[in-house]
Amino acid sequence: MSQPHFLLVTFPAQGHINPTLQFAKHLIRIGVRVTFITCISARRRMTKVPTAQGLTFLPFSDGYDDGFQPGDDIEHYLSELRRRGKEAISEFITSSEYEGKPVTCIVYTLFIHWASEVARKHHIPAALLWIQPATVFDIYYFYFNGYESTIKVPVDETNPKRSIKLPGLPLLATRDLPSFVTASNVYRWALSLFQEQMDILADESNPKILVNTFDALEQEALNAIENFNMVGIGPLIPSSFLNSNDSLDNSLRTDLFQSDSKDYIQWLDSKPKSAVVYVSFGSIAVLTKQQVEEIARALISSRRPFLWVVRNWKDGVEEEKEEDKLTWREELERFGMVVPWCSQVEVLSHPSLGCFVTHCGWNSTLESMVAGVPVVAFPQWTDQGTNAKLIEDVWGNGVRVSANEEGMVERDEIVRCLDLVMGDDEKGMEVKKNVEKWEGLAREASMEGGSMDMNLKAFVDDVAQGCWK
């Protein structure tokens, strides 16, 4: 039997590329040849290009080689990404066939559903790699399959905490839903992409959805949709979280943002165990100046050492725009450290970490779980509200901030949440107990013979034996 050759196609964003690279790592380890395709814009921003035996990295031009910029037409961008991407994939499939290395499966991520059209044209099986929780996939599915009115019913002023019941899922409030659903007028472009994705899957005789989650974490959500085969192949996180010196993991790690200094590691080394508050809102979310000021005041009020990632933070004040300057900068630097970027693997794995204030991006959520770090959930948009709901009410490994009527999370609320997860009272001890539980289960899923390993091997075997199309 010839070596399986998988083509992985991903959207050019850090939150899409990183889990897909981890997926590639596991495929390579079990003997699969992998070609990784994304856009030139992502390649240009990478601190290093992923390299490994068994991996070919293939960037293509989507017409936006300097990246999507504010003010660009999102619909035109997505149209060009689709047109040029389909051409690039088709050409590669043809050339690979000619070279005697035929593509045996195409795996694609969110917003790249058109890759399945190319797969169908070339009679190649395709699978979706869902890089958000299974619960979020289910919500989108039900939204487009009979539950739109249930989900979109406006909040009744007499019952602001109305519950939304969907099959196989916990009771949800409006704030627990993905923002693309609750603000459908604002995100029409995104919602239409999700609908196209669901329509494509519905047309397949045996749709396969690989989910970056694990069986113990979302058992019910993975089985909530009768028509679809959803398989947990996560957590797709760097092996560094598992205390593993993995050369393949190191060669496949990349970053679209850079930090010029590693001083923060020495700073963390100087702090007591479980004492530091780590604050990061990921690679996309942009907070208002007022919200940043509230976080700053909360961190100063808490009197705890903190490491805060502020992406537009500059070492020299003269480089900052006037509107970006923090009123509380001098006080902040007395209590903690503010950096423009850092290695989240290193930070979350550090023994001084006591809490993670996070936007609840799915990668960050899984990484904090495997690292065994309590969470203060501070969601911003897309799937993050759902992730925060799961963290607080289902898994119990953190607490969620509540915004005021203007949508602002105030200083006292942030301090309250920090005190809850880092304190030694009943709530703090309950969170720590749940953190320990999920850390163990996540690590168990990641080990050889765990659910990730078993499910991934079964998937590759199905492709190799031709019993899944």
Active-site hit among 16, 26, 113, 359? 16
What is the number of structural domains in the chain?
A: 2
Q: Do 291 and 350 fall into the same domain?
A: yes
Which amino acid makes up residue 429? M
Is 164 within the bounds of a domain?
Answer: yes
Evaluate whether 360 touches 388 at the Cβ level (below 8 Å): yes
Q: Do 297 and 337 fall into the same domain?
A: yes
Percent of the residues in the chain that have a pLDDT greater than 90, as a whole number: 71
Q: Is 16 a catalytic residue?
A: yes
Is 233 within the bounds of a domain?
Answer: yes
Average confidence (pLDDT) over 19-44: 93
Asked if the model's pLDDT at residue 310 lies above 70, the reply is yes
Q: Do 213 and 285 fall into the same domain?
A: no
Q: Report d(CA 310, CA 307) in Å as an integer.
A: 10
Q: What is the pLDDT of residues 430-468, one digit of tens each?
A: 999 999 999 999 999 998 899 999 999 999 998 888 765
Q: Write the CATH number for 332.
A: 3.40.50.2000
Tell me the residue range of the domain where 214 lies.
Answer: 5-253+445-464
Is 426 within the bounds of a domain?
Answer: yes
Is 469 within the bounds of a domain?
Answer: no
Q: Do 16 and 55 fall into the same domain?
A: yes
Residue bearing the bigger pLDDT, 402 or 238: 402
Q: Do 359 and 245 fall into the same domain?
A: no
Q: What is the pLDDT of residues 324-333, one digit of tens each?
A: 556 677 788 8
Query: What pLDDT is recorded for position 187?
Result: 86
Reported pTM = 0.92
Is 310 within the bounds of a domain?
Answer: yes
Is 50 within the bounds of a domain?
Answer: yes
Its sign, for the CA torsion 116, 45, 285, 76, is negative
Q: What is the pLDDT of residues 57-85, one digit of tens each?
A: 999 999 999 988 888 999 999 999 999 99
Q: Do 392 and 434 fall into the same domain?
A: yes
Q: How confident is the model at residue 182 (pLDDT cuts 50, 70, 90)?
A: confident
Is 258 within the bounds of a domain?
Answer: no
Mean pLDDT of all residues belonging to the chain: 89
Q: Do 104 and 93 fall into the same domain?
A: yes
Average confidence (pLDDT) over 295-301: 94
Q: Do 279 and 361 fall into the same domain?
A: yes
Q: Do 245 and 275 fall into the same domain?
A: no
The sheet carrying 126-130 orders its strands as: 55-60, 33-39, 5-9, 105-108, 126-130, 208-211, 229-232
Cβ neighbours, 10 Å, residue 249? 21
Q: What is the pLDDT of residues 326-352, one digit of tens each?
A: 667 778 888 899 998 888 989 999 999
Q: Which position has the token pair 């085969």?
A: 229
Is 435 within the bounds of a domain?
Answer: yes
Burial group, residue 403, by CB count within 10 angstroms (0-12, 13-18, 19+): middle
Q: Do 14 and 25 fall into the same domain?
A: yes
Average confidence (pLDDT) over 247-251: 60
Q: Do 123 and 199 fall into the same domain?
A: yes
Which amino acid makes up residue 110? L
Q: Do 301 and 384 fall into the same domain?
A: yes
